[in-house]
Chain A
């Protein structure tokens, strides 16, 4: 098992399967939140479902809407199981805190290279730790 370290994060521990891209994130710009898929044509994950996956991306872009949207996504059951980024802006942290969504950033290395799509992960935000269970 490989263990990755990050800055202590937000939310509770969770297990799940990774969905990884070297791209950025905005709930408003990138998602069809009704269908639970990436809808922005230029996004590396265009057309892919994010619900229940551990989303691994580079950083957060754009506006403030994600701060509200994550909670509504959670209420409708169409939200990633956790969010892992290299670095987030305040909106992502505020949205995760408001939604109770697990969030980690500031890893020892490029998290989009350290984790591959399909990896099984244990995410422990309070400890700032992600364990890749299948490697």
Chain B
């Protein structure tokens, strides 16, 4: 890879050990993907929950944090994805003091690097929205696909170590979705029935992910019929990234690089796959368990916007969560503070639910929570969560927000 003088100096260790590690890591990844050089990035976003880091990851962060201040501080604004637990609610969820200690160590180390602890996977809604053409190092698949597709920004999936490397060097290897030629459409999907709620949008994302099936495919959707909201695109993109590992989609007449589908394909348009109402219903039916007792209902993955919190509050007003069912809702610290101020938290928690701040259910020691609380059957309106959580020993079901609230109140699907 081609390096400029500043990059060569970093590789030689002249800017300290953390930056030497960072650029060496970036060169290993860049060479693997045939990157020709590094591209400057304006923001980094670090996925750093301790369930993923483990002791080894936390020790690595502490190693970086032990370097002299001028050697360890990040060079660009750098923020964080949801944490492994919410310090104010962990005991109610039977998360342990050992988890708290590990989480605190990780937070302290990241803060020592100069990282801003935003603890959110909806930073594009709440912190600092990306701009078309902006090169980024985003560390959450939902953030990447939203930034690339809806905003027209440019990022690959940057796992925690690579996002930290980008934060330390201010750049990232130029491959994948930083390149014009990689952003062309490769699959064509015609949508016959507009999704009706967030679980429908997630189902469409899951179906599209199954059709695309690879990080290197770029699905193009036609026929959506009207501009979706930010929350609808959030659920669609998060599910698409989860089921298909996809990092970029185009939506005709909606996303900024695709006024017309023909603009984003090279040559002849491929034959489309048609997705209709029956496909959405069949997707959700894969997870159906009518009449089953439900242990935990979760709204998360991605964290809820203020508008989603308002809808949940409206659906649960005057009702009570079943005594044998937990209803958990995760949002960003900014939205939690707003929800507190606007009375949404009081309405939600007054009904027996728990509003979590700065976490996201599957990143919060989900397996250990299941064992400690006796949870098995989970219901959510998030297709992404439903896709992930089976690996943690849960039996997941996908339903609309209203169906989820009904199940939480009845204690059954």
A60 x B245 contact (CB < 8 A): yes
**How far is it, in angstroms, between the C-alpha of A75 and the C-alpha of B363 when the chains are bound?**
20
Interface assignment of A72: CB less than 8 Å from any CB of chain B? yes
**How far is it, in angstroms, between the C-alpha of A48 and the C-alpha of B290 when the chains are bound?**
31
* Chain B residues with CB under 8 A of A7: 32
The smallest C-beta distance from B80 to any residue of chain A, in angstroms, reads: 13
The smallest C-beta distance from B41 to any residue of chain A, in angstroms, reads: 14
Say which residue of A40, A59, A94 sits within 8 Å of B161 (CB atoms): A94
Query: Residue-by-residue, is B133-163 near A (CB-CB < 8 Å gives 1, otherwise 0)?
Result: 0000001110000000000000011111110
Q: State which of A14-22, A49-57, A84-92, A107-115 sits at the interface with chain B.
A: A84-92
The smallest C-beta distance from A18 to any residue of chain B, in angstroms, reads: 22
Instruction: Please classify how large the interface on chain A is, using the bins under 10, 10 to 19, 20 to 34, 35 or more.
Output: 35 or more
* Chain B residues with CB under 8 A of A45: none
* Chain A residues with CB under 8 A of B53: 68, 72
Say which residue of B52, B55, B162, B247 sits within 8 Å of A65 (CB atoms): B52
**How far is it, in angstroms, between the C-alpha of A42 and the C-alpha of B21 when the chains are bound?**
38
B214 x A72 contact (CB < 8 A): no
A66 x B159 contact (CB < 8 A): yes
Do A98 and B161 form a contact, CB below 8 Å, given A61-B244, A90-B33, A90-B156?
yes
Query: Residue-by-residue, is B163-188 near A (CB-CB < 8 Å gives 1, otherwise 0)?
Result: 00000000000011000000000000
Say which residue of B25, B175, B242, B367 sits within 8 Å of A62 (CB atoms): B242
The smallest C-beta distance from A132 to any residue of chain B, in angstroms, reads: 23
A89 x B157 contact (CB < 8 A): yes
Among A40, A66, A93, the most chain B Cβ lie within 10 Å of the Cβ of A93
**How far is it, in angstroms, between the C-alpha of A81 and the C-alpha of B31 when the chains are bound?**
22
B54 x A75 contact (CB < 8 A): yes
Say which residue of A28, A76, A88 sits within 8 Å of B388 (CB atoms): A28
The smallest C-beta distance from B6 to any residue of chain A, in angstroms, reads: 22
Interface assignment of A131: CB less than 8 Å from any CB of chain B? no
B388 x A63 contact (CB < 8 A): yes
Which B residue's beta carbon lies closest to that of A40? B391
Which B residue's beta carbon lies closest to that of A72? B54
B245 x A97 contact (CB < 8 A): no
Which A residue's beta carbon lies closest to that of B363? A65
Interface assignment of B256: CB less than 8 Å from any CB of chain A? no
Query: Residue-by-residue, is B92-125 near A (CB-CB < 8 Å gives 1, otherwise 0)?
Result: 0000000000000000000000000000000000
Question: A residues within 8 Å of B by Cβ?
Answer: 7-10, 26, 28-32, 39-42, 59-69, 71-72, 74-76, 87-91, 93-95, 97-98, 103
Question: B residues within 8 Å of A by Cβ?
Answer: 25, 28-29, 31-33, 47-48, 52-57, 60, 139-141, 156-162, 175-176, 213-216, 241-245, 247, 362-363, 367, 387-388, 390-393
Ordered by A's residue number, 29 sampled pairs between the chains whose C-beta atoms are within 8 Å are A10-B32, A28-B388, A29-B388, A29-B390, A59-B213, A59-B215, A61-B244, A62-B387, A63-B140, A63-B241, A64-B139, A65-B52, A66-B159, A67-B47, A67-B159, A67-B160, A68-B54, A69-B54, A71-B54, A72-B56, A76-B54, A87-B215, A88-B215, A89-B214, A89-B215, A90-B157, A91-B157, A94-B159, A98-B162
